[in-house]
Structure 1
């Protein structure tokens, strides 16, 4: 990852979290602690963030906004929560069924978790398809179309309708509110709505951070969601919102995930 791309990734991460430790940045960028510390120095000198003990902080008064991070960065953020969600989601999948898995990092962790199950998996996610092709034994069907490198999906809006029907559609989101699943990319909004019509049950996989995000586009109202799985960081207020909206949800305990 180039220095410019690293700096952009750090600033995007700070839009979601007020503080990032050196360890967080090493995990997110894949470079050494020494390189991370040099990046922190440069961002601080440029007035884009603030160097603090042990890491880097967002500037005071900086507006928090939802940003779609590059997949390779987002995949390695909140991994404990995502793996816990993946494990809980795996428990509601029946062997022998056909499931649809959307793009995104939490769905990727879920797909990796069920890679060796007796399942047929349909996905438009290039990262997940590549992982399952190399590491999985499940039957894999990959959607066709143009490659959209971010968010990492194959999609052709002019293609003929898909001829399959899944028992479950597992989908993530950039944000969650009482309005529904929120996304910033219009392509994902369209794709989600198409896939919803091809599955018997819609299962949303989102870590608890996503309840604070407010992307501009509603991809799917909560009334269309059959089940939601999140981690034990879910606040009481967000749990109450889900209950008020009639959403059945499962809390994945992060402490139960093996190291």
Structure 2
């Protein structure tokens, strides 16, 4: 088993049970104690697990803790994010200007936009820019802002803000760390919040694609109030109370059904 495959197996164990012991992994994977400890060290450095005495537990970010892009993209909820992205992509028309802020859901959305003709795309996300770079179109323009790179591969700070200021886009798809009635849409990075606020100011329409687990999560800095969103696209795991709050606050709430969506795609 290659190192990457072994680490993926360890991650799946952590996600499934909430924690792992070194001794159990040594026995199950048939490698040395030192190899497992090295794997846990690598996963810990990437923000995927938290090392504890004798093993590791699932990482749990706080309001000011910013997980890396690899960490968040490797977490569960891929089905929900995929379905949310499919629905959000239907809001994009050809020959329009859009902006995509950094985030794993917006990165998933980017994959569904590569075939839309005559798009102008503004983004401060290196992974999102790379999605379009890998599927080039002569009729598409992609603008990647400059700035200081964050752990989530967003470009932020004065250079990014200056690049965005004065731009006008039809729709912004905003990736968020959390959303709540009290704090609105939030992020864990102060500079990213400032950059994203500039993106919000540039957009005629604000769309927030976010899975249900972001509800009730509060990052250290607010990007926008709930009422500023024209559309929120989320999944059916959202609680009834959260649905009522969002319905009363945002312009439109779209609830997706992952299972239903995958059945339609398979026909």
TM-score range relative to shorter protein: 0.7 to 0.9
Look up the SS of the partner of 2:132 in the other structure.
Answer: helix
> Hey, what's the Cα distance between the residues in 1 that align with 2:58 and 2:153?
29
> Hey, what's the Cα distance between the residues in 1 that align with 2:255 and 2:228?
20
Do the aligned residues in 1 keep the contact of 2:235 with 2:257 (CA within 8 Å)?
A: yes
Equivalent in the alignment of 2:128: 128
Equivalent in the alignment of 2:47: none
| Paired residues, number | 229
Is it true that 1:103 corresponds to 2:98 in the alignment?
Answer: no
> Hey, what's the Cα distance between the residues in 2 that align with 1:120 and 1:109?
18
Look up the SS of the partner of 2:215 in the other structure.
Answer: helix
Is it true that 1:20 corresponds to 2:15 in the alignment?
Answer: yes
> Considering only aligned residues, what root-mean-square deviation do their CA atoms show, in Å?
3.5
Look up the SS of the partner of 2:155 in the other structure.
Answer: strand
Cα offset for 1:201? 0.2
TM value normalised by structure 2: 0.73
Equivalent in the alignment of 1:68: 66
Do the aligned residues in 1 keep the contact of 2:145 with 2:163 (CA within 8 Å)?
A: no
Cα distance, 1:64–1:142 mapped onto 2, change above 3 Å? closer
TM value normalised by structure 1: 0.75
- Which structure has the bigger radius of gyration? 2
Cα offset for 1:249? 0.8
Cα offset for 1:218? 1.4
Do the aligned residues in 1 keep the contact of 2:228 with 2:250 (CA within 8 Å)?
A: no
Could you report, residue by residue, the CA deviation over 1:57-96 in whole angstroms, capped at 9, with x for unpaired residues? 78xxxx8845432101212331111110110001111111
> Hey, what's the Cα distance between the residues in 2 that align with 1:246 and 1:104?
21
Task: Provide structure 2 residue ranges, at least 5 long, that are not aligned to the other structure.
Answer: 21-27, 42-49
Is it true that 1:171 corresponds to 2:178 in the alignment?
Answer: no
Cα offset for 1:160? 5.6
Equivalent in the alignment of 1:140: 141
Task: Provide structure 1 residue ranges, at least 5 long, that are not aligned to the other structure.
Answer: 14-18, 26-32, 50-55
